[in-house]
Every structure is written in C-alpha cells, then in structure tokens.
Structure 1
Amino acid sequence: MPTRERPLSPHLQVYKLHTKIAPVLSISHRITGMLMFVIGTLFVVYWLGAAAYGPESFASAQAVFGSPLGYLVLFGWTVVLMYHLCNGIRHLVWDAGHQVSIAGVRLTGMVMLAAVAALTALIWIVGLAVAL
C-alpha cells in the first residue's frame, strides 16, 4: 500500500512565533498557569507555615513579603494571575463562537493584553492605597 502525504500537526517548528500572536499567547497561557500555581502555592505555604510557627516567624514572613524582592514577586504573580484570567475569558468567548476569525483572534489578543495591564495596575494602585 503506497504511503500518502499526510498533513502535519502544527508545532513549534511550523509556527513563526515572531509574526503570529496566537501561538505566543497560547504558549504563554500554559506557562502562566504553571507559574501561577507554583508561585502562589509556595507563597501560601510559606505564609501559613510562618503563621503556624508563631508571631516571630509570621513577622519574618511579612518582612519578606514587604521587601522589594517580595513586592516584585507579588507583582509578577499578579500579572500572571491576570493574564491567565483574561486569556481564560478570551477562550470562553471563542467557545461561544465569537471572534474566531484571524482578525478576531488578533483583536481579542490585543484587548486581553490591555486588560491585563489595566487590571494589574488597578489592583496594585488600590492595594497600595489601602496599605498606606
């Protein structure tokens, strides 16, 4: 039986990542899901563990979270969380059958990235205003 030329499934060698927004956002969605889980879990476990060990340990954990590095990690986690949330909503829009054209994918990608920036900024502005 002769072999036929069969279509190949898309993969990283087929995609031109520098010209296409969809594969970059798709790969980023998976990466942010993992980062959100790992960073969030480590922070919560550290914070709860410190609370369980007593006031001195909890104060130490609070100092870590309040340090410049702690703020940077929390900011990064907020960006990751908002990215994953907004891109999940984008996928729900697609699942409803809306914006599934090439132009729609580009548009929703740009809207999603703007929403990530706006929501992250809003969270940090409100959070810092309440903290001060």
Structure 2
Amino acid sequence: MEKKDKVLSDFINHIKKSPILNALKDKVDQVAIQTASFKHEPISLDNLVVGLSNDTDKEILNIIRYENINFIGGELVVLSKSRNIDCFSLDLKLYFQNNNDEIILKEKHKELDFSILDEISKKELMEKKSITYEVNEPNQE
C-alpha cells in the first residue's frame, strides 16, 4: 500500500508542476479577478421595467401568433421579497382570451439581484413591498 501512496503522491506533485495546468490556473484566476471587479451602474426600477418591455412585447406577440389567442391585458408585479434574500422578484401575469371567450393566464417569475437597482428604487421597493406596472398592448413590429 505504501508504494501506491508514493506513486500517487509523485503523480500529484508532477501534475502540480505542469506548465499547462499552471498557465490554465493563472488564466482562470485572471478571469475571476476581472469578473469580480466588473461593476455595472445601478438603474432605477422604472428603467429596468422599460428595458424589459420589448422582451415582454415579443413574448405576447409570439403567444398571440402561435396559440391564436387575443391579448387582453396584464401586469408586472415587483416584490421586495423572493426566495433568495439578496434578490427581488418580478411576476409577470398576462391575460389572453380564446375564441370560446375563456380567459387564459400566462405567468412568468424571475428573480434579480438587488444590486442592479439604484438606492432610490431599492428604498422605495423595500418600503412599499410591492409595485405593480400595467402591461399594455404590445407594439406591433
């Protein structure tokens, strides 16, 4: 058993000295440092919602096109609480109507890190606990 341990130890030491692995480790360390130092400018909640608006419009238009149902309204509810303590949640509720006049609800949930919000928006969301935005008819593009 001692011989196997010695062989294994020698093998591990050889791998540790490998120039390719050391170069790879250095590269990974550089990327980690760059990523950690990457900072984004916090934005307001209103600007975040405006930024998400185009994607929401595209999603609504796709649902209308592929499911042959009519969009009748919706809301985006922003909640200060989420499953993750460092995050807030976005709950998108889209209402459609089919040819039988039945209402169909399509929902989407997303959690985002509080660090993307500016201080004013963070404070407002924490105080209000919930902010609701109306989802209007999509822009036809």
Give TM-score scaled by structure 2 length.
Answer: 0.27
1 or 2, which has the higher helix percentage?
1
Higher strand fraction (1 or 2): 2
Question: TM-score if structure 1 supplies the norm length?
Answer: 0.28
